[in-house]
Amino acid sequence: MISERSDRAPVVLVAGGARVDAGKTTFSTGLVRALADRVGDAIGVKPRAGNDFWFDHDDYEIATESGRLYGKDARRLAAASTLALAGGPDVITPESINPIHRLWRPTPDRTGMLGDADRTFLCDRVTVPAADDDSDADDDPAADSGPAASDTRFVVNGAAESSGLLPDELGDRLPLADGTRVESVPAFNDVMAAAYLPALDRLTERVSATAAAGVPVAVESYADVAGPLPRDGPVEPDAVAVVDPGRARIYAGDRYAKARDVASGSPREGTREEHTDAVTAMIDPLATVDLPALGGDRRGDPDRVASAYGPAYQELFEAV
């Protein structure tokens, strides 16, 4: 039960029961605010995210016009958070809570390099925040306008670039000329091992340090992936909410983690990531709570979400 700041605060996972439009980010921003109301501070992170050049064009424009790449979900979580993660720059930016962001575009009747029908990934942004003693963010008056004291690299889909799929302005707005080109899945896997996994490991360390300092963390997954952080890392969720349109299912964190370990060995799941339904098929929820439909104004206000989803958060806190 969460009531006040303690020596170790909980880490709460928010996963989606559907690949798209499950309502994870709305639930997560309200959760961050509800946690902060109880404890004093709270942070939301989204380890992996993505958006689409066509379907999310406004968000694409907002980020790339300032030479950055992030999406609305990370922006909303950063805005809802009350302080930065431990062990890094003392500033909250979308990049600081979202180390990996992927940009897609629709490609009708075409299968992309990663095997997705009708869409192709264009580039990824991978950010590894610097440690505290390497950061000059406190001395930089412009630190809050972009990713502070971090190592950011871009990984470009070379096959998509050769086919003319990259928007003309993208290379002018982002430093893609210095980015890493990948032309095949094996090459991409090598880059993931060298760059993506260290970025996730660094975020996991910071989440662990933040919880150890008494500040709760809400970790939002992506799509219908059961968990965005490494299974064998230092962070295991204390409680889990699986969100679908109209409901939230609440699970004990330890049982969910064990089911995820089992799911990782199934033929469908392979070794890289597990899907939520494969995990929830093995365990029963502690509670299932209805979520009311919210209009755009209410979804965009974490305080109003916290109020509307209060019964679900109460069940989640009791599961800790």
Verify that 17 and 160 share a domain, yes or no: no
pLDDT at position 153 over 90: yes
Question: Do 88 and 197 share a domain, yes or no?
Answer: yes
**Mean pLDDT throughout 98-109?**
98
- Mean pLDDT over 147-171 rounds to 90
Q: What proportion of the chain, given as a percentage, has pLDDT over 90?
A: 83
Do 17 and 99 share a structural domain?
Answer: no
pTM of the predicted structure, to 2 decimals: 0.91
Residue 210 falls within a domain, yes or no? no
> Are 72 and 6 in a shared domain?
no
The domain of 95 spans 49-201
In a domain, 183, yes or no: yes
Residues near 153 by beta carbon (within 8 Å), at least 6 away in sequence:
125, 126, 178, 179, 180, 195
3-state secondary structure 96-161: HHCCEEEEEEEEEEEECCCCCEEEEEEEEEEEEECCHHHCCHHHCCCHHHCCCCEEEEEEEEHHHH
- Count how many Cα atoms sit within 13 Å of the Cα of residue 5 in the half-sphere of its side chain: 12
H-helix or E-strand containing 86? none
Q: Taking 90 as the threshold, does the pLDDT of residue 88 lie above it?
A: no
Residues 28 and 101 in one domain: no
Question: Are 18 and 60 within one domain?
Answer: no
Q: Output phi, psi for 73, to 5 deg.
A: -60, -50
DSSP letter assigned to residue 53:
T
Categorize the per-residue pLDDT at 129 as very low, low, confident or very high, splitting at 50, 70 and 90.
confident
Could you count the other beta carbons within 10 Å of the beta carbon of residue 139?
7
Q: Which residue has the higher pLDDT, 61 or 140?
A: 61
